[in-house]
Chain A
Amino acid sequence: MKKNLQRLDLIFKNEHDTEVILRKTIGRKCDDVINDLISSGLKGRGGAGFPTGLKWKLAAEANQPDKFVICNADEGEPGTFKDREILSSVPHKVLTGMAVCAHIIGAKKGFIYLRGEYKFLKPSLQKVIDDFHVLLDDLKIDLRVAIFLGSGAYICGEESALFESMEGKRGEPRNKPPFPTDFGYKGQPTVINNVETLAHTYSILKYGPDKFKDLGVQDSRGSKVFSVSGDTPIPGIYELEFGMSLQKFVDDFGDGDSKAVQVGGASGFCVPRKKFEKTIIGYQGKLRGTSLPTGGSMMIFNSSRSMYNVLHNYLDFFVEESCGQCTPCRVGTQQLLLGIQAVKKGEQPSSYLDRLLDLAEAMRVTAKCGLGQSVANSFSSIVENFREEMIY
């Protein structure tokens, strides 16, 4: 098989310069560090893609005495498993990023919100944190990091639901604004970053922003860790440069019979074969269209797969994981599922799919949080591109 895409080794590179990085960084002006991050072009790797430097800047400017830094390790998106690997092989990079962030914004308390499904990681992670605390004390950095375990709720990956969960409540998202940098955990200014984002800050602090910026394309700088699964001979975790075409990706990772790729998990987009060439992986441009952002989930389907079954599986997932707080999402997810079942059984005409597409679009506009809004991503992209498979 021809290999097109360069495999990178930034995140998982075996390097231990935490002390050097922390010493260097706490000696610098906070504004300079923030500017480095902004100029590196690093955007949040959880999928939403908010500029990391700007997030830190906003929290640094907030005027409350208590602030928090939280690492979002509630990796629940179907097809994503990179954060687990980062936390098991290079947790010190994540902690370094947290410590620098805490220093810049003035936080004394940090949390890693670890999903319940990854509880088996806790003992080894706790040991790394304990050693890290010794180093922090040596450097006179006033920060303590604790692990907060989730209990099996996809929605808690949504940042405001995660705060609610940490506060002992049901994991129901809040209205935004206010945003976490103003009103986060316990109502205090909070920086919440994805595991991978924090690990990237380690490389940027070590090698400078330019090396990071040299990778990727406009608006999507740096490398990205991809979780590759589905119909592929080589499933696993790969660090690749941003800005590749989906065709190149499929050439490398597909099994030669790839019919579609789900980019970004169940809440992402399904791209059919005929659009592989034109689809670029990155944040560039609008969310819909030819450029797709992703938290790193790449699920490949070959021609033996029924896209109806795929969509059914996603909708089962959303019906269960919808927190039930807002009506568009709670009822919408259920009606979409019942709707495609009815069309499949012939109880509704195929034109009913158009009404379901309208419903999905209504959810995109009216649902309270990213979960309900993004159901339309996979629903519409599958129904529009594989309409005949929904009917027959």
Chain B
Amino acid sequence: MAEVKQLVKGLADQHGRSMESLLPILQGIINQEQHISEDAMVEVARELNISAAQVYGTATFYSFLHTKPLGKYVIRVCKTITCMMHGKNQIIQELEAVLKINLGETTHDRLFTLLETNCLGQCHKGPAMLVNDEPYTELTPEKVRAIIMKYKQQELNVN
């Protein structure tokens, strides 16, 4: 709780305390914690002097703002038409197999969450996905495995 308080205060200092700062603050929380907890929402409401319901309303509207805990790396596979035509389902199956989770779930080590998303604007290079903010295009099952390995390796190196 104290940590969240610090984080929100820091973000409010950085972005300001007007309504126009709300989305940047919520995005800042996502950058740090991958999700916006109820405590965080209450804290934001207090800092901006608005109702917690208003913060909740905004936080739950946007598909990139999550109010439930997610993994450190959020994988969003594009499911819109051209990516679907170019084999999005195969990519999802591969990710499910490699990560040993189903679509919508988070791995036990809380490293990866697998989600689908709407058009990523990479239609000429489908199938495409985002891992956090990083786009990956022209995916194949082999490529997907290599990408996941890269992130796992990165984690090992950090630890």
Question: Interface residues, chain A, CB within 8 Å of chain B?
Answer: 75-81, 83-84, 115-120, 148-154, 165-171, 186, 227-231, 235-237, 262, 266, 299, 301, 305, 309-310, 313-314, 316-317, 320-321, 323
Q: Are B119 and A230 in contact (CB under 8 A)?
A: no
Are B80 and A78 in touch, CB under 8 angstroms? yes
Pairwise interchain contact B23-A230, C-beta atoms closer than 8 A: no
Q: What is the minimal beta-carbon distance from A116 to any residue of chain B, in angstroms? A: 5
User: Once the chains bind, are A167 and B20 in contact (CB under 8 Å)?
Assistant: yes
Closest 10 CB pairs of A and B: A168-B22, A152-B64, A151-B62, A235-B124, A152-B63, A229-B123, A168-B19, A170-B61, A151-B64, A81-B121
**Contact residue among B26, B58, B82, B125 (Cβ-Cβ distance under 8 Å from A170):** B58
- With A77-B119, A299-B81, A317-B118 already in contact, the answer to whether A168 and B64 are too (CB < 8 A) is no
How extensive is the interface on chain B, given as a class?
35 or more
A361, chain B: closest CB distance, angstroms: 23
Interface stretch of the complex, out of B106-114, B127-135, B144-152 = B127-135
**By DSSP majority rule, is chain A's interface helix, strand, loop, or mixed?**
mixed
**Min CB–CB distance A146 → chain B (angstroms):** 10
Instruction: Evaluate contact between B121 and A118: CB separation under 8 angstroms.
Output: yes
The answer to whether A152 touches B81, judged by C-beta atoms less than 8 angstroms apart, is: no
Closest residue on chain A to residue B119 by CB atoms: A78
Q: Is B98 an interface residue (CB 8 A)?
A: no
B131 CB, nearest partner CB in chain A, Å? 11
5 residue pairs bridging A and B, Cβ less than 8 Å apart: A149-B27, A228-B124, A231-B85, A266-B81, A313-B79
Knowing A231-B85, A317-B80 touch, does A119 contact B123 (C-beta < 8 A)? Answer: no
Shortest Cβ gap from A237 to chain B (Å): 7
B23, A165: Cβ atoms closer than 8 Å: yes
Residues of B close to A84: CB separation below 8 A:
121
**Of A165, A237, A313, A320, the contact of B81 (CB 8 Å cutoff):** A313
Q: Looking at the complex, which one of B65, B81, B125 makes contact with A78 (CB distance below 8 Å)? A: B81
**CB 8 Å contact bits of B18-38 with A (1 = contact, 0 = none):** 111111101100000000000
Is A79's CB under 8 angstroms from B82's CB?
yes
Among candidates B20, B85, B123, B124, residue contacting A168 with C-beta atoms closer than 8 Å: B20
CA distance A119 to B130 in the complex (A): 10
> Is A229 a contact partner of B82 (Cβ separation < 8 A)?
yes
Question: How far in angstroms is the closest Cβ of chain B from A119?
Answer: 4
B67 contacts chain A at the CB level, 8 A cutoff: no
Q: How far is the CB of B58 from chain A (nearest CB, A)?
A: 6
Cβ contact within 8 Å between A235 and B125: yes
Contact A151 B63 (CB under 8 A): yes
* B154 shortest CB reach to chain A, Å: 17
Q: Which of B19, B57, B120 is close to A117, meaning CB atoms less than 8 Å apart?
A: B120
B133 to chain A, nearest CB (A): 4
Q: Which residues in B have their C-beta under 8 angstroms from that of A153?
A: 61-63
Select one of A166, A229, A317 contacting B126, CB under 8 A.
Answer: A229
Complex Cα distance, B135 from A83, in Å, reads 16
Say if the beta carbon of B122 comes within 8 Å of chain A: yes
B42 interface residue, CB < 8 Å from A? no
Question: What A residues does B22 contact at CB under 8 A?
Answer: 168
Docked Cα-Cα span, A231 to B119, in Å, equals 17
> B residues within 8 A CB of A120?
133-135
Which residues of A sit under 8 angstroms from B101, Cβ to Cβ?
A: none
Contact present for A151 and B23 (CB under 8 Å): yes
Residue with the highest number of chain B CB atoms closer than 10 Å, among A165, A168, A228 = A168
B49 at the interface (CB under 8 A from A): no
Interface centre among A167, A229, A317 (most CB of B within 10 A): A229
